[in-house]
Amino acid sequence: MSNTTNNTSGYFDLHVERLGYLNRIRRVTPRKGSEFLACTIEALRGATDDVEKSRFDVRISGEVAKAAILALESSVMVDKKSVLIGFKLSDIFAEHFVLEKGERKGEVACVIKGRLLQVKWAKVDGSSFDIPLIEKPAKTGTNG
């Protein structure tokens, strides 16, 4: 009789796919570890005539997502530009922190953190924006 041990580890993926406004692109230098790119996404939810937003503070994961965010960075930095993206997040979790400034200084607040895996499409001020490294579907059609 054989005695086998299963040493494979499993992993539970939690993905969120939605659309939202891209904000606050920044480079983060932690005390320990390497610098990384991060951003805030205000995801839209609820009825179209009474939209609500959920804020995600995310770390950019992967070269394709990083290239997309860097391509959109200059548009986000201009206050009058609205940058709407279709996105995919992974591994979201809530993190509590104490506000250090402003009228609410000392209060406990919460932020939803995660990893940005993919930017599927983007619009800047309502116009489509070509994202580098994203494959476009082949156009098919027949002449009628």
In this predicted model, what pLDDT tens digit does every residue of 86-121 receive, in sequence order? 999 999 999 999 999 999 999 998 899 999 999 999
**3-class SS of residue 106:** coil
Evaluate if residue 130 carries a pLDDT over 90: no
Q: Choose the weakest-confidence range: 2-16, 27-41, 103-117.
A: 2-16
Q: pTM score, two decimals?
A: 0.79
Where do the domains of the chain lie? 15-128
Tokens of 129: 């924006």
Mean pLDDT over 124-134 rounds to 83
| 15-28/127-128 β-pairing | unpaired
What is 15-128's CATH topology?
A: OB fold (Dihydrolipoamide Acetyltransferase, E2P) (2.40.50)
